[in-house]
Amino acid sequence: MAEFFAMGGHAVWVWSCYGLSAGGIAFLIWLSFRQRARAREWQKLSGDGQP
């Protein structure tokens, strides 16, 4: 297991890349859910149901 995380001595570079990518994807998902919440707000204000 330690060998896997060590990535042949390149752990810092490899895991930084995967961490950044996970962060970027999480940010995009958060943006999408914020957009959905905004749509629901407008639907409530207009007297419609949920999207």
Partner 1 sequence: MWSAFANPERFERLAARLVPWFGWGAAILFAIGLPWALIISPPDYQQGDTVRIMYVHVPSAWLSMAAYAGLGGASFVYFIWRHNIADLAAQALAPIGAVFAFLTLATGSLWGRPMWGTWWEWDARLTSMLVLFLLYLGYMALRAAIEDERLAARAGAILAMAGLINLPIIKFSVDWWNTLHQPASVIRLDGPTIHMSQLWPLLVMALAFTALMTALVLMNVRNMSLAKRAEARARRRIEGEGT
Does 30 engage in binding with partner 1 (CB under 8 A)? Answer: no
Minimum Å gap between C-beta 36 and partner 1 is 5
Six-digit token string for 22: 């996970």
Whole-number Cα distances in Å, 37 to 6, 10, 18, 33, 45: 41, 41, 28, 6, 12
Is position 2 an interface residue for partner 1 (rule: CB under 8 A)? no
Residue 10 binding partner 1, by CB under 8 A:
yes
Binding footprint of partner 1 on the chain (CB under 8 A): 4, 7-10, 13-14, 16-18, 20-21, 24-25, 27-29, 31-32, 35-36, 38-39, 41-43, 45-48, 51
